[in-house]
Amino acid sequence: MTHFFTHKKDGISREISMKDYLFEIYKLKISEPNQPLLFVNFRDTRVYLPTEMCREASLPENFTSDSRKMRDLQEFKISHPK
C-alpha cells in the first residue's frame, strides 16, 4: 500500500496513499497493508486495486458458448505481458 497518487479534494491537490484514500473516501480498512496491488488498463489510464478488494468473476454459460460474444471480449481479456 505504498502506492501514492495525486488526489484533488476541495480544489486542493495532494499526495495520498491507496490505503488512506480507501479509508477517507469509502471507509474501507485494509487488513494487510503490504499486499500487492493489481492493475487494470482502462482506456489510457492504469487503475490500481488492492488484492483483498478484488473478487473472482465468471461469465454465464450462455455467454461463453456464443463465439461472437467471446471474440468481442478477446481485446479486453488478453493484453501484452509488460
Question: What's the CA gap between 40 and 42, in Å, rounded?
Answer: 6
pLDDT tens-digit series, residues 17-73: 888 888 888 898 988 878 888 888 888 888 888 888 887 777 787 877 888 888 887
Q: Which amino acid is at 69?
A: K
**Can you read off the three cell numbers belonging to residue 64?**
461463453
Evaluate if residue 11 carries a pLDDT over 70: yes
Structural domain including 45 reads: 4-77
Number of domains in the chain: 1
What pTM was estimated for this model as a whole? 0.58
Residue 3 backbone phi and psi in degrees, to 5: -75, 120
Asked whether residue 82 is assigned to any structural domain, the reply reads: no
